[in-house]
RNA sequence: GGAGAGGUGGCUGAGUGGUCGAAAGCUCCGGUUUGCUAAAUCGGUGUACGAGUCAAAUUGUACCGCAGGUUCGAAUCCUGUCCUCUCCGCCA
């Protein structure tokens, strides 16, 4: 959610930004609606003030005087109720438009309609390997080495679910350890978060849990939803809070399961672990002062690069185009790992994503900070970034480190956590 | 799941229908005093949205978990809901 006053005063800028972002919403009526709403609000407040004043005289009034004063008070309140009902109606109409408006856009973000317009910024230190044997994809590898059982997943939960087995379990745990250890050294407070969250929190972060387009599983007869990312719970953790400026920034990382319906994703790259209904993720999240958020985004990006450099996986970093930013992000970098088993001769596939949401989420979640000795509060900036999505991380490790004999070499950084150097080929 | 108790300002904690944005204390900020520190003492100290002003001063409304309701008037009464605590049951 953007600041309403800002929107009304910069309506042309907002309209253009919506076009760039590919969001179809008519903002032209907003200034008029807001003016009408304010007028009604003032009318209601004035009537209320009048009635309040009158009410205070009743306590002191004599028994004979009272009925007349009470009658007058009733009439004023009735008028006030009318004005305030109109105000509520306008408020709802404005809010409906406001919540469709995406965040502002960083001036450097490439203008475009989808991920094809993303701008490549850099590459990782590891070069894509030249394989001198037929490259397998992770589904084949998983089958050959008995690491992933999609059939069993489908059997118990349907398509899009899977069992990790044998060394794949160690690999998932090792990746978690590697990443969490690295982030702790960087000053992140590690957490394991709830996998469910209230609808209200989802809204605050910018997810819409109801409706046909939703990515979110909801629990029937409750106000709870399965989270699609720990971003939801980590951001929601501080909703309604006021930080002392001197305590910012606060950096958290959260391990959670992520559940996504993937509605409307039919036909998109979905083989194997790439697009699944459940996976585990280590998420980074930061609450910062406004002036620090851009630097924090660069820090998150750098951490994501270091994580994948450490895994000896080739990747590229892209600056996400306006059409692909989603609602809350002001700027977003995606890290796309090289997946040699994908497509004809390998393709890049998104593995992480980091966003500066500026005050867009904070405003809805009501997360503020105050400067010591200064009156008033300001909204914090929030940032999120994938440290590692385990499902896609596993694809990248398996496919990039496969050997001619079918075995998988374990990247150096994972060996202490795996307790092995190699996942051996099977007989 | 059952039975109780409770949710008040940054914190502790009064307040059961009328002048309560809310006592008192703490914290914090400023002043005074003290050779410095500590202490003492005086004053100030919530948030949001408005009006007002060059900026202030000043001023209106709302907010006592949240949402409704009763009433001329609600922190206070009623309903729902969320959360916390205690006990019991169940359970990893």
pLDDT tens by residue, A39-50: 888 898 899 988
Q: Look at residue A266 in the predicted model and tell me its pLDDT.
A: 65
ipTM exceeding 0.90, yes/no: no
Query: What pLDDT is stored for residue A155 in this prediction?
Result: 94
Q: List beta partners, residue A119.
A: A319
Predicted pLDDT of residue A319? 97
- The structural domains of chain A, with segments of one domain joined by +, span 4-100, 115-423
CA A313 – CA A322 distance, rounded (Å): 27
Distance from residue A415's CA to nucleotide B14's C1', rounded to whole Å: 62
Q: d(Cα A389, Cα A351) in Å, to the nearest integer?
A: 7
pLDDT of residue A412: 97
Q: Is the CB of A89 under 7 A from strand B?
A: no
Average confidence (pLDDT) per 10 residues, chain A, 427 residues:
89 94 92 90 89 82 79 88 88 88 95 92 95 95 96 93 96 97 96 89 84 82 88 90 84 95 74 94 95 96 98 97 94 97 92 95 87 79 96 97 96 97 91
pTM for the full predicted model: 0.92
pLDDT tens per residue, range A75-96: 888 888 888 888 888 888 888 8
A351, exposed or middle or buried, with CB in 10 Å at 0-12, 13-18, 19+?
buried
The distance (Å) linking the CA of A245 with the C1' of B37 is 29
**pLDDT for res A224:** 86
* Residue A246 Cβ < 7 Å to strand B: no
CATH value of A115-423 in 3.30.70.141, 3.90.1150.10, 3.30.930.10, 3.20.20.140 = 3.30.930.10
Nucleotide nearest to A59 (CA to C1'): B18
**A208-236: pLDDT as tens digits:** 877 777 889 988 878 888 999 999 999 98
Is residue A268's beta carbon less than 7 angstroms from any atom in nucleic acid strand B?
no
pLDDT of A310-350, one tens digit each?
Answer: 999 999 999 999 999 989 999 999 999 999 999 888 999 99
Q: How far is the CA of A375 from the C1' of B36 (A)?
A: 32
A54 touches strand B (CB under 7 A): yes
Q: Is the CB of A72 under 7 A from strand B?
A: no
User: What is the rounded CA–CA span in Å between residue A339 and residue A312?
Assistant: 12
Which one of 1.10.3720.10, 3.40.50.12710, 3.90.25.10, 1.10.287.40 gives the CATH number of domain A4-100?
1.10.287.40
Is strand B within 7 Å of residue A244 (CB)?
Answer: no
Q: Which nucleotide is nearest to A48 (CA to C1')?
A: B61
Q: How far is the CA of A374 from the C1' of B67 (A)?
A: 33
Q: Does A115-423 match A4-100 at the fold level?
A: no
pLDDT the model gives residue A65: 78
CA of A427 to C1' of B74 (A): 78
Residues 6+ apart with CB under 8 A from A262: A160, A215, A270, A275, A277
> Any atom of strand B under 7 A from CB of A85?
no
């Amino acid at each position: 959610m953007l600041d309403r006053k800002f929107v009304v005063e910069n309506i042309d800028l907002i309209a253009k930004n919506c076009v760039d972002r590919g969001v179809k919403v008519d903002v032209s009526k907003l200034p008029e609606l807001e003016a009408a709403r304010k007028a009604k609000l003032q009318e209601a407040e004035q009537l209320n003030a009048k009635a309040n004043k009158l009410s205070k005289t009743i306590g002191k009034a004599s028994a004979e005087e009272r009925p007349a004063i009470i009658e007058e008070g009733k009439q004023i309140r009735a008028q006030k109720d009318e004005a305030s009902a109109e105000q509520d109606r306008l408020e709802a109409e404005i809010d409906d438009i406001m919540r469709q408006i995406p965040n502002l856009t960083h001036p450097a973000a490439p203008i475009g309609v989808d991920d094809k317009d993303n701008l490549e910024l850099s590459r990782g230190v590891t070069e894509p390997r030249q394989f001198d044997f037929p490259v397998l994809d992770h589904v084949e590898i998983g089958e050959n080495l008995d690491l992933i059982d999609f059939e069993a997943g489908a059997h118990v939960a349907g398509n899009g679910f899977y069992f990790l087995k044998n060394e794949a379990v160690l690999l998932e745990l090792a990746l978690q350890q590697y990443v969490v250890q690295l982030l702790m050294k960087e000053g992140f407070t590690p957490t394991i978060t709830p996998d469910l969250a209230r609808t209200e929190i989802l809204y605050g972060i910018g997810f819409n849990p109801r409706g046909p387009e939703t990515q979110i599983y909801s629990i029937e007869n409750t106000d709870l939803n399965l989270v699609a990312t720990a971003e939801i719970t980590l951001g929601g953790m501080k909703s309604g809070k006021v930080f002392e400026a001197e305590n910012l920034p606060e950096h958290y990382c959260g391990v959670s399961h992520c559940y996504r319906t993937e509605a409307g994703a039919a036909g998109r790259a979905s083989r194997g672990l790439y697009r699944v209904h459940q996976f585990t993720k280590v998420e980074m999240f930061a609450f910062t002062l406004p002036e620090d958020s851009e630097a924090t985004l660069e820090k998150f990006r750098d951490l994501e690069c270091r994580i994948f450099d450490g895994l000896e996986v080739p990747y590229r970093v892209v600056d996400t185009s306006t059409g692909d930013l989603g609602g809350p992000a002001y700027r977003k970098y995606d890290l796309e790992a090289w997946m040699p088993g994908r497509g004809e001769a390998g393709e890049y596939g998104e593995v992480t994503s980091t966003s500066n949401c500026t005050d867009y989420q904070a405003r809805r979640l009501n997360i503020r900070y105050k400067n010591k000795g200064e009156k008033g509060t300001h909204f914090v900036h929030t940032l999120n970034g994938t440290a590692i999505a385990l499902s896609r991380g596993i694809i990248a490790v398996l496919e990039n480190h496969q050997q001619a004999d079918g075995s998988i070499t374990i990247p150096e950084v994972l060996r202490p956590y795996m307790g092995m150097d190699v996942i051996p080929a099977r007989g």
